[in-house]
Amino acid sequence: MHKRAPDIANAVKPEDYTMKAEEYSPEDLSEIEGEYKKSLLDVGYDPAGEERSGSFLQLDHSILCSDTVQKGIEVMGSDEATRKYPWLSDYWWRAIHADADIYTKAVADKQTGGYFIRAAPGVKSIFPLQAGLFIGKERLSQNVHNIVIVEEGAELHIITGCSTAKNVHSAMHLGVSEFYVKKGATLTYTMIHNWAPEVVVRPRSGIIVEEDGTYINNYILMKPVKDVQMYPVTYCGRNARTMTQTIVHASKDSKVDIGSKVVLEGENSRAELISRSIATDHADVTARGEIVGSAAGVKGHLECIGLMLSDTARMHSVPELEATVEDAELSHEAAVGRISEEEIAYLTARGLSEDEAAASARC
């Protein structure tokens, strides 16, 4: 991770937040789901579990739910999984290092939950599996370590929603996630963030996609947050494919420094990174993307488009391409701008409201 402007990655220390949390049990699940139903639904977590292959829900440091309804797909707390499966040590801290920064170190030293999800060989999920990580205590640090394994030939879709209770204004979420997509497997991972205005968010992710595997990542941030910084790295093997799609609406005083890196280290591997950002009010957005081509026949495209809707906001786009082989095909497109007054005037003169005109001009 480099070239941040401004550098917010280490601006807040984990020790500034409390590790003391009330303990909850699965018996509290129905009451908590009822109390926070709207917040959960807003991030894609359905308490009823309709059209879901399984559910995982964690409140603060307590795991309330880890159920599956489809044979061949399992979900449980990552602590429980390490006790149940000794072989999981072969995956633990393999895709990302525990000493990568102060936040990974904090999770390694004081982990407070997280999920383990695995799809058995050849299993194809009928419905998405949902996982919710929820903070209900003010000034709490939630330090989770997630492991996802999609075995050979399997297909899995996960929706992860992260949010806070109405009474929570400030907190910290540290989320280490490791993804292993085996030969010929497919993983679609959608993450929705709805945080409170003073929450600090530090996802740290590593993804390994083996031969003929496919990894699709969707990230959505629509509400104000104190600051969020993440830079997941995906390693693609031979004929592997990855696509990342990011949608960010940064408002108020939000500081958003996000992006992703793909290393195309297998022959004929492919990558597409697409980012769409809107900055309003006093928001500060840095959108990054990097593709490294280091094997024969690789192709990659990077696209960062930013829309400015305020004279007091700031947006910085950082696209990077690196090729170490002569036949790599890498390209990028980046743009930052505003909707012109002429476009708005033209559309409003033809009967659209100002909001409708702005929406049409963005398309």
- Per-residue DSSP letter, 86: G
Query: Cα(220)–Cα(233) distance, rounded to whole angstroms?
Result: 18
What per-residue confidence (pLDDT) applies to 361?
A: 54
Axis-axis angle for helices 341-348, 354-362 (nearest 10): 120
- Is residue 304 within 8 A of residue 334, CB to CB? The reply is yes
Among left, alpha and beta (phi > 0; psi -120 to 50; other), residue 249 is: beta
The model scores a pTM over 0.75:
yes
What per-residue confidence (pLDDT) applies to 355?
A: 60
What are residue 132's phi and psi, to 5 degrees? -120, 130
- 277 DSSP β-pair partners: 248, 306
Among left, alpha and beta (phi > 0; psi -120 to 50; other), residue 215 is: beta
pLDDT, averaged in runs of 10, over the chain (363 residues): 46 92 96 94 95 97 96 97 97 97 97 98 97 98 98 98 96 98 98 97 98 98 95 98 97 96 98 95 96 98 91 93 96 78 59 58 52
HSE of 146, CA atoms in CB hemisphere, 13 A: 27
What residue type is 333 in one-letter code?
E
Domain residue limits, the chain: 14-362
What per-residue confidence (pLDDT) applies to 1?
A: 36
To 10 degrees, the CA torsion angle through 128, 50, 42, 358? 70
What per-residue confidence (pLDDT) applies to 123?
A: 98
